[in-house]
Amino acid sequence: MNSIRQIQELNRRELENNVSPNASWHADYRDTAYVYIGGLPFELSEGDIITIFSQYGEPTYINLIRDKETGKSRGFAFLKYEDQRSTDLAVDNLGEL
């Protein structure tokens, strides 16, 4: 939760200082189709995550991070969509949950 607040603060400062879109930290990620998903219930599987996120587009890759010793979920994952538009939709609709 702290990182979300930090990102929101950074965004606010960029807006206040009239930072151009090309100079914003967003420019580094504007063409990526990857989404970081944090705060997941440990019981969710890759299939569950794909089911939830497929409502916004076609997932092409998922990496649910698991504990090396136990194999249990660590509560976060990386998901890649087929296109950037799907990424934007997912982040806009699920980013603040």
pLDDT, tens digit, 9 for 90 and up, residues 40-84: 999 999 999 999 999 999 999 999 999 999 999 999 999 999 888
Task: Please name the residue that has the structure tokens 């806009």.
Answer: 92
Burial 82-93, CB ≥16 within 10 A → b, else e: eeeebbbbbeee
Does residue 36 sit in the same domain as residue 83?
A: yes
Give the 3-state secondary structure of residue 7.
Answer: helix
CATH number of residue 36's parent domain: 3.30.70.330
Query: Same domain for 44 and 83?
Result: yes
Same domain, 80 and 63: yes
Q: What separation, in Å, do the N-terminal and C-terminal C-alpha atoms of the chain show?
A: 11
As given in the structure block, the two tokens for residue 6 are 């930090």
Report how far residue 32's alpha carbon sits from residue 85's, in angstroms, rounded to the nearest whole number.
Answer: 10
The confidence score (pLDDT) of residue 53 equals 93
pLDDT tens digits, 17-40: 988 877 776 676 666 788 889 999
Same domain, 37 and 71: yes
For the chain, how many structural domains are there in total?
2
- Residues 90, 56, single domain; the answer is yes
| Two structure tokens written together for 20 | 């151009």
- Are residues 59 and 90 in contact, defined by beta-carbon separation less than 8 angstroms? no
The CA distance from 46 to 6, in Å, is: 28
Residue range(s) defining the domain that contains residue 11: 1-30
The reply to whether the predicted model has a pTM over 0.85 is: no
